[in-house]
Amino acid sequence: MLIRRMPKPALRPFVKMLWASDGKDLATTPHRERVVPTGTMHLAFRLSDHPLRLFEDTAATVARIVGHVVVGGARSSFYVREVFGGERSVGVQLHPGAAAVLFGVPCDELAERHTPLEQVWGPTALWMRDRLGATGNLEEQLDVLESMLAARLPRVHGLHPAIAQALEQFATTSDVGSVVKETGYSHRRFIALFSKAVGLTPKRYCRVLRFQGALRRMAARPRAPWIEVALDAGYSDQPHFNREFRELVGVTPGEYRRVAPTLTHHVPIR
């Protein structure tokens, strides 16, 4: 079972969504999956025995063990992980700018990789995992995690106004040049500010955002022709859509549709 909920007001500038899972809806046989990029950061506490195990590609035989408490930086392409049935876990999806506030580290230093939380918070990370593991149910886990994160917020916080403005504009346009021009900053300075807050460059962020729009259209219209999905999402043509889909997910749109993943961003490897 997987549950999600919005954070309380104090955390909303930093936390996009809280989630908790008892793992009972996962296949009991260990398997691998591609995890699709969302353009955002994640913080996850794995409460079962299995640490996060990552692979260089689908054919790799040796895994990299990251740990039980992990910060997932913003990514612009998929990664491959191992999944076990019955895994209990709880975590949050973070807004741009949250890394600097919660972790004291710019987002671009954590991007495109997974970092054990102990490297950022020290022993506190494992104490938090123990406390979450002692809770009785999923809702209580979310309550505990929310209170622990709120306790770490500084008194003064906020996202750079130029970045906040750009994020709002990128929801409707991918014209990075015009957005930068409106901020009054040089292109180089804006990219540096944006990368530190978001973890990705503006161009890569818009690319993932457009891809997320395509995934939403595919979910809403499972049998829609690919050319319609591509053009509606803002791609120049179907080959452009196919190339980016393959690069970001590791499979073609047709292969993704045939797999029909239960969770949009988690594609089983068969």
**Residue 270 maps to a domain:** no
How far is the C-alpha of 259 from the C-alpha of 143, rounded, in Å? 35
Give the three-state DSSP class for 104. Answer: coil
Are 199 and 173 in the same domain?
A: yes
Report the pLDDT averaged over residues 109-117: 95
Ramachandran bin of 197, using left for φ above 0, alpha for ψ from -120 to 50, beta for the remaining angles: alpha
**Is the Cβ–Cβ distance between 2 and 67 less than 8 Å?**
no
Indicate the pTM of the whole model. Answer: 0.83
pLDDT for residue 156: 46
Question: Which amino acid makes up residue 258?
Answer: R
Per-residue pLDDT at 27:
61
Q: How many structural domains comprise the chain? A: 2
Q: Whole-angstrom Cα distance, residue 242 to residue 230?
A: 9
Domain that holds residue 89: 2-151
Domain stop point among 101, 126, 151: 151
Q: Are residues 129 and 174 in the same domain?
A: no
pLDDT of residue 171: 86
Q: Do 111 and 185 sit in the same domain of this protein?
A: no
Contact between 58 and 250 under an 8 Å Cβ cutoff? The reply is: yes
Stated as kind and residue range, the H or E segment containing 54 is strand 52-55
Decide which of 151, 167, 192 is a domain's last residue: 151
| pLDDT digit string, tens, across residues 195-237 | 998 999 999 999 999 999 999 999 889 889 999 999 999 999 9
| Confidence at residue 194, expressed as pLDDT on a 0 to 100 scale | 92
Say yes or no: 176 and 63 in one domain: no
